C-alpha cells in the first residue's frame, strides 16, 4: 500500500516569509494541554477530566552562520530585543503548505564551539497565544493523506491524480484571499477583497461609523492619561510645599494654566455636541482663573500661598474635568448602544468569501441564530460547473440551490430547530468523469464560492448589510491610528522635557545640547502640524456630513484635505528621521564625514517634505476654514442661548465669592494691625516705666540697665510687627479693590464669549464623527485627569483614607490594613482589622473589635467571640481564662423571652484531636452557683452520672435521677 511518508529533511522551521532557517539540523514541535480534574462521586471511581490551558513550544538546533538571512543572528537579535515574532513549522513547497504557525518569543539560545569542530547552536521558542495550522495541499498530498486514514482505501491501490485535477486545483488556489480593505464615503462603507490572482471583488453597506469612532477615541485618551496626570500633580504638590510661589515656579504654573485655558473650549464643544451639562465645569474653571490672576500678574516676584487653598482650586477643576470627560464618554456610549440597525443580519462576517467543495456537511456558523425560528437567506455565489448546494440547520430539512458558473444572487427560506448550527455540503453525483469514489469527502471536480451572505429573521430575503458584530472589526484600524498619534505626541513632549532638563542639569548648555533641544522642539512642531492637519480633516468631514450626504464639491474638499494630511504626516516622519540621524551622529561625540552627509541628506528631505506640506495646507485652509466655520456655527447657535444665562449666574456667584473672600482677608489684616498697634503701645509704656523706676533714686544699677535694654528690644520688635501688620492691612485692602476691578473686567460678557468660542475653528469638532488625534494630548492631560491632589484631600496620612476630618467618620488604613468607625464624640466604636487576633501557630487572624460608650469591649475572630476582654491571642490566666474556648463573656442582660434561656457561657465540645483536655465549658478560678444547678434535656429531667473534680486528684461521682441529685460519692 502506498503511503505519503514525510522525511525529517522535508519538515523544516521557517520564518513568516517562508524562508527556512539557515543550516538547520533538527527541530521539534511540542504541544501540551493541562487537564482539570472533575472527578465526582458520579464518576464511579474513574478519573474524569476536562481540557484546561494549552501551550506549545519549538526546540531547534543547527550550524552557526551569519549574513544568511534567517540564521542564528536573527534569533540572538530577537533574544536581546525581547520582541515576539511569527514562525512556521512544517512542509512548504510549490503549491503546497502543510504547516503550523504562530507568534513566539525566545526562551533560550546557546552557541557551542568545540575544538576542531563546526560551531553549532540550539534554542527553544515558546508560543504566545494560539497555534494555527495551514493545510493547503496539492491534490496528490490531500489524496494520500486521506488514503492514510480512510478505511475504505486500506489495502486498495493508491489513487492516480489526473492533470485536469491539478489544473482545477491551481485555479482554485489562485482565488485565495490576499487582503481585505474598507473605505468610507458619505454613509457608505465599501469593502474590497483582493484575491491571490489580483482580481478584486467589492461589497458595501450603508452605515455611519461616527459614534463608534468617537467612543473609542475618548476611551483611548482617558485610558492613557494616568502617567501624565501624576506628573502634573507632583509638580503642583512640590510648588506648594513651602507656602511660596517663587519667581522660578510661576512659569510652570502659568504653563499649566495655559494648557487648561486652551483645552477648555474643546471640552465644552464635545459636551455641547452630545448634550452634556457643563455648568459645574465652567464654574470651577472661572474660580481657578480668579485665584491665579493676582498670583501671575508679576512673574518676577515671590508670592505667599496657602498650600491647601492652592491645591483645592486645581483639585476642584480637575475633578470637574474628569467628571465631564466621563459624562461625554457615557453620552457617546449611550448613543452607540441605542443605534438601530434595522433588519439584523445573523450571519457574522458575511462579506467574506466561503469556499464549499465538501460532499459531507461542514459547519458554516454556530450559536448566533434563534431556535425554532424561520429565517430568510440571500447570498452571491458561483460554481465551477452548475453545482447543487444544500444549506440546512441541524435536525431540520434545508434548502437547495443550483449554483451556475457566473456570479448571481440566490435566496430562500428555512427554519432552525433545537440547534443553531448551520451546515453546507454538495450532494454527491457520480458521473463518467468522476475520478473519486462516491464516499470521498472532498469533491475536487465541483466547488462553490459564496459571499455577501445575509440571513434575517422572517421569510423576506433582503440585500446584504453587515451584522452588528462586524462593525467592531471595521473600526479597529481607526482606533489603532488614534493610539499611535497619541503615543507619538506624548513621546515628543516627553523627549523635549527630558532633553531640556538634561541640558540645564550642569548650569550650562553646550552646542550639542542646544542642537538636541532644537531638534526636540522641531519634532514637536512637526507632530503638531500633523495633528492640525488631522483636525482640519475631521472638521471637513463633519461639515460634509452635516446634511447627511456628500456632494461632489464636498468630496473634492475631502480629497484635498486628505492630501494635506498625507503631506503633514510625511513632514513629521522626515523630522523624526532627522532627529534619529543627528542623535546617532552625536552619540560618540564625533561627527564623521559620512554622518555629516547623512544629516545633510535628512535635512534636505525634511525641507522638501515641509515645503510640500505647507503648500498643500495653504491650498485648502483659506476656503475650507470659512465653509467649516459656517457649518459649525449653524449647529451651535441654538445652544448659545441655553448656556448664556446659566454661565452668567455662575460667574456672578464666583464674583461675589471672590469679593467676600478678599474683604474677609482685608478685615482680618486690619484687625491684626490694630492688635499689633496695641501691643506696640503697651511695649512703649513698659519701656517708659522701666526708665522712670531706674532713675527714681538718681542712679541706674546694672540690673536696672538690663531691664531697660530688654524693654527697649521689646519696643522695637513691637514697632516692627505693628508696621508690618499695618502695611499688610493696606496691601490687602488695595488687593481687594484691585481684585474686584479685575473680576468685573474679566467677567464682563464672559458667558457669551465663552459659548461663542465653541463655534470657532480653534476647537475640535465631534459632530460628524471624527475626533482629532491630539484631542486629549499630554499637555492637556498634565492638568490631571485622575487628580492626586483631589485624593490628598481625602487622605490624612500615608495610605489612609477617611470620610471626614473629625467627628462621625470612617478611617481606612492601607498601611495597617484596617477600617475604624468613630462616633460623633471621636470615640472608636468599631474596628475591622486583618490582625486583631492570632491562630494557634501565631499567624494573624482577622476579626472585629466593638466598643460601647461605657468602655465595654467585645472581640470576634476565627477563634470565637470574647466579650469584655483585653484582647485574645489565646487569652492567658491574667484575664481569667487560659483557653481557646468558643465563647467567653459576662452576662449583663436577660432576654425578653419568658420561655427562653440566658447564659454567660454557652459551648459545645466538638473537638476530636490534640492532646489537651477539652471541655464544653471551662473556668480557671472559683465558680459560685447560688441558685443550684440544672441538668436537663429540654424540659424533661434526665438520668445521668457525672464525675466532678474540684482541685487535686479527688473527685465526686454524682448521680441524677429524673433531674434530681440522689447521691454523691467521693473517690
Residue 123 lies in a domain: yes
589 & 494 share domain: yes
User: Can you tell me the distance from the alpha carbon of 368 to that of 615, in angstroms, rounded to the nearest whole number?
Assistant: 52
Give the end of a domain, one of 101, 135, 161. Answer: 161
Q: What is the mean pLDDT of the chain?
A: 68
Residue 410, pLDDT above cutoff 90? yes
Region class of 386: left (phi > 0), else alpha (psi between -120 and 50), else beta: left
Residue 572, pLDDT above cutoff 80? no
Those residues whose C-beta lies under 8 Å from the C-beta of residue 487, and which sit 6 or more positions away, are 224
274 & 394 share domain: no
Q: What is the pLDDT of residue 378?
A: 92
User: Can you tell me the distance from the alpha carbon of 912 to that of 858, in angstroms, rounded to the nearest whole number?
Assistant: 28
Task: Tell me the per-residue pLDDT of 633-667, one tens digit each, with 9 for 90 and over.
Answer: 444 444 444 444 444 554 455 455 555 655 665 56
Residue 934, pLDDT above cutoff 70? no
Residue 184 lies in a domain: no
600 & 503 share domain: yes
Q: What is the pLDDT of residue 66?
A: 67
709 & 819 share domain: no
Task: Tell me the per-residue pLDDT of 125-168, one tens digit each, with 9 for 90 and over.
Answer: 999 888 887 765 443 444 333 333 333 333 333 334 456 655 66
DSSP 1-17: ----PPPTTTSEEEETT
- What phi and psi values does residue 723 have, to the nearest 5 degrees? -65, -45
Cell of 423: 451546515
Query: 3-class DSSP state for residue 840?
Result: coil
Task: Tell me the per-residue pLDDT of 354-376, one tens digit each, with 9 for 90 and over.
Answer: 898 888 889 988 877 888 888 88
Total domains in the fold of the chain: 6
Cα torsion through 248, 249, 251, 256, rounded to 10: 170
User: Can you tell me the distance from the alpha carbon of 125 to that of 110, in angstroms, rounded to the nearest whole number?
Assistant: 12
Cell of 813: 488604613
Lowest-confidence segment of 22-26, 315-319, 455-459 by average pLDDT: 22-26
- What phi and psi values does residue 899 have, to the nearest 5 degrees? -95, 0
Give the end of a domain, one of 161, 196, 231. Answer: 161
Where are the extended beta strands (E) located within 113-148? 120-136
Q: What is the CATH number of the domain that holds 112?
A: 2.40.30
User: Can you tell me the distance from the alpha carbon of 633 to that of 627, in angstroms, rounded to the nearest whole number?
Assistant: 10
774 & 711 share domain: no
Residue 667 lies in a domain: yes
373 & 459 share domain: yes
71 & 157 share domain: yes
What percentage of the chain exceeds 90 in pLDDT? 4
Residue 98, pLDDT above cutoff 60? yes
Residue 767 lies in a domain: yes
∠103-105-107 over CA atoms, to 5°?
A: 145
Provide long-range contacts, Cβ within 8 A and 24+ apart, for 232-241.
232/256, 232/781, 232/782, 232/783, 232/784, 233/784, 233/787, 233/788, 233/789, 234/788, 236/310, 236/311, 236/314, 236/789, 237/311, 237/788, 237/789, 237/792, 239/310, 240/305, 240/307, 240/310, 240/311, 241/307
Residue 505 lies in a domain: yes
624 & 546 share domain: yes
Cα torsion through 358, 453, 388, 373, rounded to 10: 100
Task: Tell me the per-residue pLDDT of 600-627, one tens digit each, with 9 for 90 and over.
Answer: 777 777 777 777 777 777 766 555 554 5
Residue 859, pLDDT above cutoff 70? yes
Task: Tell me the per-residue pLDDT of 739-787, one tens digit each, with 9 for 90 and over.
Answer: 555 444 444 434 334 333 433 333 333 333 333 333 334 443 334 333 4
844 & 861 share domain: yes
495 & 505 share domain: yes
Residue 187 lies in a domain: no
Residue 206, pLDDT above cutoff 60? no
Q: Which domain holds residue 722?
A: 674-747
Bridge pairing between strands 408-415 and 374-383: antiparallel
658 & 688 share domain: no
Residue 44 lies in a domain: no
User: Can you tell me the distance from the alpha carbon of 760 to that of 780, in angstroms, rounded to the nearest whole number?
Assistant: 19
Task: Tell me the per-residue pLDDT of 525-565, one tens digit each, with 9 for 90 and over.
Answer: 777 776 666 666 666 655 554 444 456 666 677 667 767 77
Residue 168 lies in a domain: no
The structure's pTM equals 0.25
376 & 427 share domain: yes
Sheet holding 964-970, edge to edge: 944-949, 955-961, 964-970
Amino acid at each position: 500500500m502506498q503511503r505519503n511518508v514525510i522525511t525529517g529533511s522535508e519538515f523544516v522551521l521557517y520564518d513568516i516569509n517562508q524562508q527556512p532557517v539557515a543550516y538547520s539540523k533538527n527541530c521539534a514541535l511540542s504541544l501540551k494541554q493541562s487537564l482539570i480534574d472533575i472527578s465526582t462521586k458520579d464518576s464511579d471511581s474513574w478519573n474524569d477530566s476536562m481540557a484546561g490551558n494549552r501551550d506549545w513550544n519549538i526546540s531547534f538546533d543547527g550550524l552557526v552562520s551569519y549574513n544568511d538571512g534567517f540564521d542564528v543572528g536573527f534569533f540572538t537579535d530577537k533574544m536581546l530585543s525581547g520582541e515576539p515574532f511569527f514562525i512556521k513549522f512544517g512542509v512548504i513547497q510549490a503549491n503546497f503548505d502543510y504547516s503550523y504557525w504562530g507568534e513566539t518569543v525566545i526562551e533560550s539560545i546557546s552557541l557551542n564551539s568545540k575544538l576542531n569542530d563546526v560551531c553549532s547552536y540550539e534554542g527553544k521558542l515558546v508560543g504566545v497565544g494560539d497555534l494555527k495550522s495551514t493545510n493547503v495541499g496539492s491534490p496528490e498530498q490531500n489524496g494520500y493523506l486521506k488514503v492514510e486514514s480512510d478505511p475504505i482505501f486500506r489495502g486498495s491501490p493508491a489513487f492516480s491524480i489526473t492533470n485536469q485535477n491539478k489544473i482545477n486545483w491551481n485555479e482554485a488556489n489562485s482565488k485565495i484571499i490576499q487582503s481585505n480593505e474598507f473605505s468610507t464615503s458619505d454613509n457608505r462603507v465599501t469593502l474590497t477583497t483582493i484575491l491571490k490572482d489580483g482580481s478584486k471583488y467589492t461589497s458595501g453597506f450603508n452605515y455611519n461609523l461616527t459614534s463608534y469612532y468617537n467612543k473609542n477615541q475618548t476611551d483611548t485618551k482617558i485610558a492613557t492619561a494616568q502617567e501624565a496626570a501624576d506628573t502634573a500633580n507632583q509638580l503642583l504638590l512640590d510648588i506648594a510645599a513651602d507656602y511660596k510661589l517663587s519667581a522660578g515656579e510661576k512659569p510652570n504654573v502659568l504653563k499649566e494654566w495655559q494648557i487648561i485655558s486652551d483645552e477648555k473650549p474643546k471640552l465644552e464643544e464635545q459636551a455641547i455636541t452630545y448634550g452634556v451639562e457643563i455648568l459645574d465645569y465652567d464654574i470651577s474653571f472661572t474660580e481657578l482663573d480668579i485665584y491665579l490672576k493676582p498670583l501671575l500678574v508679576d512673574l518676577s516676584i515671590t508670592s505667599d500661598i496657602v498650600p491647601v487653598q492652592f491645591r483645592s482650586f486645581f483639585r476642584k477643576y480637575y475633578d470637574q474635568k474628569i467628571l465631564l470627560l466621563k459624562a461625554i464618554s457615557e453620552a457617546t456610549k449611550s448613543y452607540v448602544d441605542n443605534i438601530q440597525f434595522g433588519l439584523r443580519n445573523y450571519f457574522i462576517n458575511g462579506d467574506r468569501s466561503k469556499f464549499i467543495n465538501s460532499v459531507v456537511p461542514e459547519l458554516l456558523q454556530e450559536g448566533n441564530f434563534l431556535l425554532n425560528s424561520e429565517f430568510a437567506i440571500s447570498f452571491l455565489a458561483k460554481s465551477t460547473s452548475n453545482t447543487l448546494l444544500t444549506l440546512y440547520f441541524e435536525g431540520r430539512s434545508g434548502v437547495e440551490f443550483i449554483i451556475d458558473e457566473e456570479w448571481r444572487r440566490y435566496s430562500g427560506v428555512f427554519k432552525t430547530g433545537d440547534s443553531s448550527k448551520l451546515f453546507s455540503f454538495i450532494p454527491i453525483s457520480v458521473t463518467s468523469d468522476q475520478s473519486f469514489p462516491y464516499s470521498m469527502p472532498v469533491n475536487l471536480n465541483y466547488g462553490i464560492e459564496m459571499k455577501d451572505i445575509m440571513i434575517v429573521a422572517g421569510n423576506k430575503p433582503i440585500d446584504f448589510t453587515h451584522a452588528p458584530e462586524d462593525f467592531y472589526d471595521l473600526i479597529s484600524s481607526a482606533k489603532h491610528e488614534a493610539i499611535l498619534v497619541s503615543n507619538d505626541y506624548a513621546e515628543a513632549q516627553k523627549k523635549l522635557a527630558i532633553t531640556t532638563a538634561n541640558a540645564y542639569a550642569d548650569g550650562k548648555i553646550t552646542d550639542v545640547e542646544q542642537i538636541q533641544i532644537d531638534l526636540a522642539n522641531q519634532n514637536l512642531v512637526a507632530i503638531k502640524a500633523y495633528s492640525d492637519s488631522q483636525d482640519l480633516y475631521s472638521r471637513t468631514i463633519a461639515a460634509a456630513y452635516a446634511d447627511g450626504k456628500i456632494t461632489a464639491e464636498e468630496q473634492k474638499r475631502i480629497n484635498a484635505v486628505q492630501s494635506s494630511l498625507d503631506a503633514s504626516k510625511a513632514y513629521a516622519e522626515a523630522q523624526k528621521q532627522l532627529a534619529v540621524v543627528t542623535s546617532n551622529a552625536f552619540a560618540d561625540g564625533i561627527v564623521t564625514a559620512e554622518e555629516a552627509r547623512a544629516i545633510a541628506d535628512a535635512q534636505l528631505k525634511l525641507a522638501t517634505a515641509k515645503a510640500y506640506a505647507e503648500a498643500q495646507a495653504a491650498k485648502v485652509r483659506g476656503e475650507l476654514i470659512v465653509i467649516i466655520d459656517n457649518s459649525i456655527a449653524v449647529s451651535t447657535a441654538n445652544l448659545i442661548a441655553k448656556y448664556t444665562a446659566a454661565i452668567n449666574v455662575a460667574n456672578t456667584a464666583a464674583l461675589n465669592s471672590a469679593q467676600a473672600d478678599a474683604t474677609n482677608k482685608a478685615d482680618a489684616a486690619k484687625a491684626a494691625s490694630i492688635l499689633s498697634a496695641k501691643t506696640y503701645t503697651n511695649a512703649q509704656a513698659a519701656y517708659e516705666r522701666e526708665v522712670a523706676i531706674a532713675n527714681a533714686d538718681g542712679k541706674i544699677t546694672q540690673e536696672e540697665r538690663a531691664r531697660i535694654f530688654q524693654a527697649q528690644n521689646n519696643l522695637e520688635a513691637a514697632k516692627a510687627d505693628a508696621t508690618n501688620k499695618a502695611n499688610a492691612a493696606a496691601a490687602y485692602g488695595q488687593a481687594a479693590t484691585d481684585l474686584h476691578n479685575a473680576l468685573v473686567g474679566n467677567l464682563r460678557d464672559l458667558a457669551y464669549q465663552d459659548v461663542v468660542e465653541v463655534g470657532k475653528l480653534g476647537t475640535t469638532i465631534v459632530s460628524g464623527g471624527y475626533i482629532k488625534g491630539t484631542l486629549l494630548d499630554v499637555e492637556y492631560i498634565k492638568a490631571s485627569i485622575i487628580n492626586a491632589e483631589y485624593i490628598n484631600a481625602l487622605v490624612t496620612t500615608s495610605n489612609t483614607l477617611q470620610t471626614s476630618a473629625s467627628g462621625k467618620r470612617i478611617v481606612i488604613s492601607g498601611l495597617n490594613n484596617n477600617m475604624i468607625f468613630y462616633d460623633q464624640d471621636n470615640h472608636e466604636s468599631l474596628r475591622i482589622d486583618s490582625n486583631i487576633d492570632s491562630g494557634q501557630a501565631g499567624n494573624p487572624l482577622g476579626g472585629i473589635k466593638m466598643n460601647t460608650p461605657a468602655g465595654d469591649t467585645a472581640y470576634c475572630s476565627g477563634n470565637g467571640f470574647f466579650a469584655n476582654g483585653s484582647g485574645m491571642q489565646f487569652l492567658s490566666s491574667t484575664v481569667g481564662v487560659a483557653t481557646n474556648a468558643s465563647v467567653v463573656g459576662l452576662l449583663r442582660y436577660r432576654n425578653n423571652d419568658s420561655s427562653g434561656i440566658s447564659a454567660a457561657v454557652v459551648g459545645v465540645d466538638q473537638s476530636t484531636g490534640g492532646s489537651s483536655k477539652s471541655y464544653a465549658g471551662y473556668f480557671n478560678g472559683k465558680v459560685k452557683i447560688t441558685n443550684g444547678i440544672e441538668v436537663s434535656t429540654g424540659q424533661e429531667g434526665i438520668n445521668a452520672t457525672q464525675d466532678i473534680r474540684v482541685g487535686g486528684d479527688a473527685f465526686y461521682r454524682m448521680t441524677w435521677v429524673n433531674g434530681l441529685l440522689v447521691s454523691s460519692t467521693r473517690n
